Every structure is written in structure tokens, then in C-alpha cells.
Structure 1
Amino acid sequence: MKILLTFPGQGPQVPGMLHDLPDTDDARDLLSRATAVLAEPVLQLDSPAALRSTRAVQLCLFIAGVAYARQVLHTGIGVDFTSGLSIGAFAAAVSAGALSYEDGLRLVALRGELMEQAYPRGYGLSAIAGLTQSQIERIIAQVHSADLPVYLANLNADDQFVIAGSEAAMSRACELARGQGASRTRRLAVSVPSHCELLNEPAHKLANAMAGAVLQRPGIAYLSGSTGRVLWQPERIAEDLALNMARPVHWLDAMVSAYQRDVRLAIEMPPGAVLTGLTKRVMEQGEALALSQNPLSLIKTLAGRLTGR
């Protein structure tokens, strides 16, 4: 039986999240290195005002993801796969050993800046639950136009999707979705239209910057949240990281792929818990747990019981 670490995308960020990292030498070292690389006091990134910035949110999630993953790994839990949704992919790549922490910091900071500059206002993401993919696609086809751009961005489960686009287009699409029986529609705490062609230009700028980073074959399997495929080649991981902001998220496919590869324990890094619920729907056997909701000692005991390690 295998173990997977999952890393959330934007949405679960909370003020003070970097101040609440584990009180360990390793976490303090990561914060110190982040301050040096970014040339700014990193502990100011998690204030309520700072978290209105896409760049700050993404850096906080990245740093937290790496810190908590290291805490898990240092307990002796044998991790076989890492996978991240959107910005979570960068923490997954660092935790797998494919990308250095310092390069990750530089790339995540640039990623956030590029996304903010592309769409500083009037765009974002909305979640729709309770409809099928074909229903969502028909609604998008009905609403989408040059003036009202809207796209299918995340395929999280059979009946849970995220759309990206302008505020007006998303509002109209959600209205139609509710009229067709959607159980819930919700504007997400994301201020850019991620995972659609609206971000093609900033994605390719990030790909150019990725050429300056050094990637290597990971020691832990890197499972792409965009494609659902396990990637080992450094150049393919680099492409996946750079372009994922403009590609739809296929989280359901990724979790099906993990389950088919004998994953029976998925551990979501704080501050997220949403991925855990989505993963539970796929894992007919085994467990999916959020570290933010369960003590690490319990997770370690469960990991030993499931894997016999």
C-alpha cells in the first residue's frame, strides 16, 4: 500500500498561517531562507491585508506546504507520491525532490505577479456542485463570448467543478446552474481566472523563467494534478509547473490514478481540507486525512498500520 501527500491550491489560506507553522528548527530555517531569497520579511505575507494579493497567497501556501511535508517526512512516514492542485504543484515538486526550495520561491513569486498583472480585477473562479460535466459545458457554451468569457477550469469530482472567467460571466453561469438544480454555487477566494486560456500569456512567460531553474529526477513520484499522470522527467515536470495556471485541473483523474497505483493513504497539507473530501470519494478502501484536522501521531500510526512499515 502506498502513501500520497496532497497540497491545496488557493482558497484555504488564512491570516497568520506562516506564524502557525510547526515550532521546529526546520520550519524556522525555511522561513529564514524565504526572507533571504525574496529580500523581504516573509512573515508579513500572511496578514489579512497582504493576503488580498495573489502573490502573497501563493507564497504562503507554497512555504506552508513544504514545511508541513518536511514535518511528515521527518517522522519516518514513507511517502510514495506527491500531488498538488494549482499552486500546490510547486510544493509537491519541492517535496518530491524535483525542484529546489529556493528556485520554487522565485518561481512562485513570479507566478503570482504574472497572474495579478494579467487580470488585476473583475475576474476569478467560482465553484458549482450538483451538476454533471455535460451540464456545466452546456451552460458555459450558452454564456461564453468575447465580452463574457467563462471556461471550465477544475474537474474535481463527478459533480464538483470550478469555472473561471469574468465576474459577469460567472454570475450568469452560476444563475443558470442554480436554475438547472445545482446544489451549490460559490465564488472562490481567488482573484484571477486560473486554469483556462486567459492565462496563456503569463504561463508562457513563467515557462521562459523556468529555464533558469534546475530540476532533477524526483526521489518521490510526482503526480500531476493537471493531467493525472506520474511524471519523472525533469523537463516534463518543469512544463507541468509552468503551464498549469493555463490548463484545466483534472483532480479527479489524478486521484483515480493514485488509487490505481495502490495509494491507500492520502495526507493533505495544511491549511487545506477540501482535497481530502474529494480524495475520499475515490478511495473505496484506505484513508484520506487532512493534517490540519488530525494529529501527526495519529497519521503516523495509521500509516504504519496500512503499509506495514
Structure 2
Amino acid sequence: MSIVFMFPGQGSQRAGMLHTLPADPAVTQTLAEAGDVLGVDPLTLDTAEALQSTVAVQLCLLIAGVAVARTLVQQDAAPDMVAGLSIGAWPAAVVAGVLDFSDALRLVRLRGRLMEGAYPSGYGMAAIVGLAEPEVGAIVAQVHSAATPAYVANLNAERQIVVAGSDAALAQVMARAQAQGASSVARLCMAVPSHCPLLDAQAAELAAAAAKVTAHAPQRTYISSSRARALFRANLIVEDLAWNMARPVLWHDTLRHAFERGARMAVEVLGGGALTRLAQGVFADDAVLNAGGELDAVRVRMQRLRRLDSR
């Protein structure tokens, strides 16, 4: 039996998230590395004001994910597989050994700048709960036009679909979804329309920069949430990372793929619990953990699973 670490995407950030990381040498080292590469104290990135910036949000999620995962790895609680939703794929790739942390920091900073610069206002994302993807897709097709672009962006669960597009398009999609029986509709804390062709040009620019860094074969299984399957070649993983901002997220299928590959425990690494709830639709409830709380309890549960598996 294997364990998969899940790294969350934008929307899971919170003010003070770097200040509340565990008091552990791995965390201290990770923050120091980040400061050296970025040329700023990373603890200035997680204020409520700073987190209005897409760049700061994405850097905080990368730094926090790597710091907590390193802490668990050094406590003999390492994952067998990793998967990340959107920006979460980047700490996943670092933990898998594909990218050096320093390269990931530089590329994620560029990623955030490209996304923020492309759509500074007037766009975003909305979650539709209670309708299946064909139903949401039909609504999106009715709304989409050159003036009101809209795209199905995330398939988080069988009946939790995220749509990306302009403010006007999202308002129409949400109204139509409610009229068709959606249990809830809500705008997400996202200032850009991710995971759709609106970011093709930015993804291409990021891919060109990413192709210049040295990548390594994964030491742990990396599962792409854009393809919902494991990737084993370093160049394919780097391409996947660069283009994931413009490709739909197949999160439910990603978790099912991890389960089919033998994962029997899923650990959300420093998220707000959204991935934990989604994983409970695939894994047994008592086999889904959130490392945003007490890490000692997570470590003990992981080690217990490993002991049971070795018998």
C-alpha cells in the first residue's frame, strides 16, 4: 500500500500561512533557501495585503508545501506518490525530486507574473456544485462567446465543477446553473481565468523558460492532474508543469489513478481541507489526513499504515 501527498492550489492560501509553519529545521532551511533565491524575506509574502497578488499567493503555496513535506520526509513519513492541483503541482514536483527548489521558486514567480499581467481584472473562476460535467459543459457552451468567454476548467469531483472566464460570463453561468438545480454556486478567490485557453500564450512563455532548467527523473511517482496519470520522464513533467495553467484540472480522476496505482492513504499538505474532502470520495474516510494540523499525528498514522503493510 502506498501514500500520496496532495498539494492544494490557489484558494487555500491564508494570511500568516508561512508564519504558522511548524518549528522544525526543515522549515527554517526552506524559508532561508526561498529568501536567498527571491531576494526578499518570504515572511513578507503572507500578509493579507501581500496575498492580493497572484505572485505572492503562488510563492507562498510553493514554499509552504515544500517546507511541510520536507518536515514529514525527515521524520520518516515520506510519500510514495505526489499530486498537486494547479500551482500545487510545483511543490509536488520538488518533493518528487524532479525540480530543484531554487528553480521552482524562479519559475513560479514568473508563472504568477505572467498570469497576473495577462488578466489584472475582470476575470476569474466559479465553482458549481450539484451538477455533473455534461450539464455544466452545456451551460458553458450556451454562454461562451468572444465577448463572454467561459470554459470548464476543473473537474474536482463528479458533481463539483469549476468554470473559468470573464466576470460577465461567470455571472451568466452561475445564474443558469442555479436555475438548473445546482446546490451551490460561488466565485473562487482567483483573480485570473486559469486552466483554459485564455492562458495559452502565458503557458507557452513559461514552457520556454522551464525548458532551460535542469530536471531530474522523479524519485517518487508524480501524477499529473492535467492528464490524470503518472509521468516518469523529466521533460514531460516539466512540460506538464508549465502548461497546467492552460489545461483543465482532472482532480477526481487524478485521485482515482493514485488509488488504482495502490495508494491507500492520501495526505493534504498544508491546505484548508478542500482536498481532504474531495479525497474522501475516493479513499476511506479514515485514510485521508490533513497535514495542516498536528504533524506528529499525521506522521504516526502514516508510519502505522507502513507497519501494517509490511506484515
Count the aligned residue pairs: 308
Q: What does residue 306 of structure 1 align with?
A: 305
Q: What does residue 134 of structure 1 align with?
A: 134
Q: What does residue 291 of structure 1 align with?
A: 291
Distance 1:122 1:6 in 2: 30
| Aligned partner letter, 1:46 | D
Cα RMSD, aligned residues only? 1.2
Distance 1:97 1:189 in 2: 30
TM-score (norm 2): 0.97
Distance 1:144 1:7 in 2: 31
Deviations 1:218-254 (A, max 9, x none): 1111111111111110010011000000000000110
Distance 1:19 1:66 in 2: 15
Q: What does residue 60 of structure 2 align with?
A: 60
Contact 2:290 2:298 in 1 (8 A): no
Structural mapping, 1:68-87, within 5 Å: 68-87=68-87
Shift of 1:38: 1.0
Shift of 1:286: 6.0
| Aligned partner letter, 1:95 | V
Contact 1:7 1:272 in 2 (8 A): no
Change (3 A) 1:284 1:32: closer
Deviations 1:96-120 (A, max 9, x none): 1110000000000000000001101
Q: Point out where structure 2 has 5 or more consecutive residues left out of the alignment.
A: none
Q: Which moved more, 1:13-22 or 1:60-69?
A: 13-22
Shift of 1:151: 0.3
Q: What does residue 270 of structure 1 align with?
A: 270
What is the DSSP-based 3-state SS (H/G/I as helix, E as strand, rest coil) of the residue aligned with 1:162?
strand
What is the DSSP-based 3-state SS (H/G/I as helix, E as strand, rest coil) of the residue aligned with 1:87?
helix
Deviations 1:32-61 (A, max 9, x none): 221111112221111111100000000000
Shift of 1:297: 2.3
The yes-or-no answer on 1:150 pairing with 2:150 is yes
Q: Point out where structure 1 has 5 or more consecutive residues left out of the alignment.
A: none
Deviations 1:150-172 (A, max 9, x none): 00000011100100000110011
What is the DSSP-based 3-state SS (H/G/I as helix, E as strand, rest coil) of the residue aligned with 2:86?
coil
The yes-or-no answer on 1:218 pairing with 2:218 is yes
What is the DSSP-based 3-state SS (H/G/I as helix, E as strand, rest coil) of the residue aligned with 2:4?
strand
Q: Which moved more, 1:150-159 or 1:75-84?
A: 75-84
Contact 2:7 2:271 in 1 (8 A): no
Deviations 1:5-53 (A, max 9, x none): 0100000111111111111222122112211111122211111111000
Shift of 1:265: 0.7
Shift of 1:298: 2.1
| Aligned partner letter, 2:84 | G
Structural mapping, 1:1-309, within 5 Å: 1-284=1-284, 287-293=287-293, 295-308=294-307
TM-score (norm 1): 0.97
Q: Which moved more, 1:33-42 or 1:99-108?
A: 33-42
